[in-house]
């Protein structure tokens, strides 16, 4: 809270207006952006106009109206235009409603891929991968017989929060309501969303993405989301129909757009994932569970790792090609598959040291966009994240080869130390800013990491 105030007093009133003289906007969430807009009479009237323009009309009809067009142009300069939302934030639905109220007017509407309304994932992916690797390599003697999905269930049962929310969705999703209806799907989905929103991913991902060597394990993995209630249905709809249904709901639409943003096959990266960010892809996959587009493993085979929403391309007519393309982003997606396998095996992205440019651009981008809100302090530790992986994984891999006992926390904190101290790593804050207020912000935001490090 104090940090937030300091940052704002440093940034001065310019950051509260549409744009500061350097073209540097304050990145804010859409709820906040809406408040800022409401405080300004010109912005709020344009926003009202635009919403009226969009109501019940398509984009082209709207743009034919001069007043609507003018409103749109003005709003593109306002903080509303850049605003994003956070998964599981307070007022998430309200935030997404604001986001789509503008963005549906800006895009063509029926685009195949939509941009994600969520902030880029900047969490420390190495942490959970490290956990997975510790668990997967935990007991070498029983390794051939061990069932990682069973281990994941054990870990969850021994954690109070995970156990409670897991039992909550399982009992909800397995409760018979009448002889004809197997369960209350709506309640089941809600309980699943609560589980994936409120339980740390080190537990939920282990249950969802555990690696399997036999069918019993793979069947347990498939059963994780209680598919008989949350996934399967009497009929399999057409995938494009299902997509349209999903797009009528702000949350489902946002989660799908987030999946398309973070799991879209990229040919520029080694892992096939955008920015080599497995965590972002796994997170947006898990983010679709509990909505109409809920994905799951299609069978309990151990060899082919195929996931899909409950839909098919039957009855696509002349849209067959588009439907197949949509479905293949789930069923034949190397990014998603690599991410799931890497998590299951406990291996992280291993980038060759001679190619450090993609992770650095990613870190630059995300750190510029993370807002100086108080609850963001813990999440803004992007600085050391992706660029650290190389060193950390290579050490872990060496140790795996040598079959030595591992000390991954040491590995992580050491690399953290170097990146935090390295001065050139901090320059990202100053990149676009010409005044020194932002470098002050950079130093301030580094304080929590230094404290964390001291705690280690």
Partner 1 sequence: NRMKRARARHKPCALKELEVTVSELGLGYESDETVLFRYCSGTCETAVRNYDMSLKNMRLKKKIKKEKVRARPCCRPLSYDDDVSFLDARNHYHTVNELSAKECGCV
Please give the Cα distance from 400 to 404 (Å, whole number).
Answer: 7
Q: If binding is defined by CB under 8 A, does position 154 make contact with partner 1? A: yes
- Comparing CB distances to partner 1, the nearer of 167 and 350 is 167
In the complex, least distance from residue 408 CB atom to partner 1, rounded to whole angstroms: 24
Site for partner 1 (CB under 8 A): which residue of 101, 147, 380, 382?
A: 147
Q: If binding is defined by CB under 8 A, does position 191 make contact with partner 1? A: no
Indicate the SS3 state at residue 312.
strand
Q: If binding is defined by CB under 8 A, does position 150 make contact with partner 1? A: yes
Nearest to 287 by CA among 30, 96, 82: 96
Q: If binding is defined by CB under 8 A, does position 399 make contact with partner 1? A: no
Q: If binding is defined by CB under 8 A, does position 244 make contact with partner 1? A: no
Q: If binding is defined by CB under 8 A, does position 48 make contact with partner 1? A: no
Token pair listed for 397: 């891999």
The pairs formed by 105-109 with CB atoms below 8 angstroms and a separation of 24 or more are: 105/50, 105/53, 105/54, 105/59, 105/62, 105/72, 106/72, 106/76, 107/59, 108/59, 109/58, 109/59
C-alpha 181 chain-centroid distance = 33
Q: If binding is defined by CB under 8 A, does position 230 make contact with partner 1? A: no
- Comparing CB distances to partner 1, the nearer of 170 and 363 is 170
In the complex, least distance from residue 150 CB atom to partner 1, rounded to whole angstroms: 6
* Rg for the chain, CA atoms, rounded: 23
In the complex, least distance from residue 300 CB atom to partner 1, rounded to whole angstroms: 9
Please give the Cα distance from 451 to 456 (Å, whole number).
Answer: 9
Nearest to 282 by CA among 231, 232, 207, 230: 207
In the complex, least distance from residue 153 CB atom to partner 1, rounded to whole angstroms: 5
Number of residues that bind partner 1 (CB under 8 A): 18
Write the CA distances from 41 to 38, 247, 372, integer angstroms. Answer: 7, 32, 25
Q: If binding is defined by CB under 8 A, does position 418 make contact with partner 1? A: no
Candidate segments 130-138, 159-167, 278-286, 346-354, binder of partner 1 by CB under 8 A: 159-167
- Comparing CB distances to partner 1, the nearer of 53 and 217 is 217
Candidate segments 89-97, 158-166, 339-347, 357-365, binder of partner 1 by CB under 8 A: 158-166
Site for partner 1 (CB under 8 A): which residue of 22, 90, 91, 164?
A: 164
* Packing angle, helices 148-157 and 125-136, rounded to 10: 110
In the complex, least distance from residue 147 CB atom to partner 1, rounded to whole angstroms: 8
In the complex, least distance from residue 171 CB atom to partner 1, rounded to whole angstroms: 4
Q: If binding is defined by CB under 8 A, does position 170 make contact with partner 1? A: yes
In the complex, least distance from residue 183 CB atom to partner 1, rounded to whole angstroms: 11
Q: If binding is defined by CB under 8 A, does position 198 make contact with partner 1? A: no
Q: If binding is defined by CB under 8 A, does position 163 make contact with partner 1? A: yes
Given a contact cutoff of 8 angstroms between Cβ atoms, the answer to whether 297 and 306 are in contact is: yes
Block residue for tokens 């197949």: 324
Site for partner 1 (CB under 8 A): which residue of 17, 97, 167, 350?
A: 167
Burial of 139 per CB tally in 10 Å (0-12, 13-18, 19+) = exposed
In the complex, least distance from residue 248 CB atom to partner 1, rounded to whole angstroms: 31
Please give the Cα distance from 85 to 30 (Å, whole number).
Answer: 6
Candidate segments 70-78, 136-144, 157-165, 230-238, binder of partner 1 by CB under 8 A: 157-165
C-alpha 96 chain-centroid distance = 15
Candidate segments 7-15, 154-162, 235-243, 341-349, binder of partner 1 by CB under 8 A: 154-162
Contacts of 387 (CB under 8 A, 6+ apart): 356, 359, 360, 363, 419, 425
Q: If binding is defined by CB under 8 A, does position 25 make contact with partner 1? A: no
Nearest to 278 by CA among 352, 197, 337, 193: 337
Which helix (DSSP H) or strand (DSSP E) does residue 112 occupy? none
Q: If binding is defined by CB under 8 A, does position 177 make contact with partner 1? A: no
- Comparing CB distances to partner 1, the nearer of 94 and 223 is 223
Site for partner 1 (CB under 8 A): which residue of 148, 166, 189, 250?
A: 166
Write the CA distances from 249 to 2, 85, 254, 296, integer angstroms. Answer: 37, 16, 8, 20
Largest CA distance in the chain: 73
Q: If binding is defined by CB under 8 A, does position 219 make contact with partner 1? A: yes
Q: If binding is defined by CB under 8 A, does position 185 make contact with partner 1? A: no
Candidate segments 56-64, 171-179, 266-274, 411-419, binder of partner 1 by CB under 8 A: 171-179
Please give the Cα distance from 98 to 79 (Å, whole number).
Answer: 12
Given a contact cutoff of 8 angstroms between Cβ atoms, the answer to whether 442 and 430 are in contact is: yes
Q: If binding is defined by CB under 8 A, does position 174 make contact with partner 1? A: yes
Write out the residues near partner 1 by the rule CB under 8 A. 147, 150, 153-154, 157-158, 163-164, 166-167, 170-171, 173-174, 219-220, 223, 226
């Amino acid at each position: 809270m104090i940090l937030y105030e300091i940052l704002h007093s440093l940034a001065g009133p310019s950051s509260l207006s549409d744009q500061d003289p350097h073209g540097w906007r304050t990145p804010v969430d859409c709820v906040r952006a809406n408040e800022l807009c409401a405080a300004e009479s010109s912005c709020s009237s344009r926003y009202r106009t635009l919403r009226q323009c969009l109501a019940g009309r398509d984009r082209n009809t709207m743009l034919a109206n001069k007043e609507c067009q003018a409103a749109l142009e003005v709003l593109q300069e306002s903080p509303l235009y850049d605003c994003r939302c956070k998964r599981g934030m307070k007022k998430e639905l309200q935030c997404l409603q604001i986001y789509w109220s503008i963005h549906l007017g800006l895009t063509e509407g029926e685009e195949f891929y939509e941009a994600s309304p969520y902030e880029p994932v900047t969490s420390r992916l190495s942490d959970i991968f490290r956990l997975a690797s510790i668990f997967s390599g935990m007991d070498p003697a029983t390794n051939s017989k061990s069932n990682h999905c069973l281990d994941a269930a054990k870990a969850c049962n021994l954690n109070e929060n995970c156990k409670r929310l897991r039992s909550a969705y399982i009992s909800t999703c397995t409760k018979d309501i009448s002889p004809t209806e197997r369960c209350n799907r709506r309640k089941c989905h809600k309980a699943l969303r609560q589980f994936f929103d409120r339980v740390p991913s080190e537990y939920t991902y282990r249950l969802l993405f555990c690696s399997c060597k036999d069918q019993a394990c793979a069947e347990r993995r498939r059963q994780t989301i209680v598919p008989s209630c949350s996934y399967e249905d009497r009929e399999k709809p057409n995938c494009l129909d299902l997509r349209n249904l999903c797009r009528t709901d702000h949350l489902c639409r946002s989660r799908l757009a987030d999946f398309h943003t973070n799991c879209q096959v990229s040919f520029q990266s080694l892992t096939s994932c955008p920015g080599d960010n497995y965590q972002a892809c796994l997170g947006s996959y898990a983010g679709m569970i509990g909505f109409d587009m809920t994905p799951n493993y299609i069978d309990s085979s151990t060899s082919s790792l195929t996931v899909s929403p409950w839909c098919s391309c039957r009855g696509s007519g002349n849209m067959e090609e588009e439907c197949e393309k949509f479905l293949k982003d789930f069923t034949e997606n190397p990014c998603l598959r690599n991410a799931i396998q890497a998590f299951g095996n406990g291996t992280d992205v291993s980038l060759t040291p001679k190619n450090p440019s993609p992770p650095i651009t990613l870190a630059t981008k995300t750190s510029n966009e993370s807002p100086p809100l108080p609850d963001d302090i813990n999440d803004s530790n992007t600085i050391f994240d992706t660029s650290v992986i190389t060193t950390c994984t290579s050490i872990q891999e060496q140790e795996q080869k040598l079959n030595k006992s591992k000390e991954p926390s040491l590995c992580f904190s050491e690399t953290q130390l170097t990146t935090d101290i390295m001065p050139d790593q901090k320059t990202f804050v100053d990149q676009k800013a010409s005044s020194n207020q932002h470098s002050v912000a950079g130093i301030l935001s580094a304080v929590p990491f230094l404290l964390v490090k001291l705690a280690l």
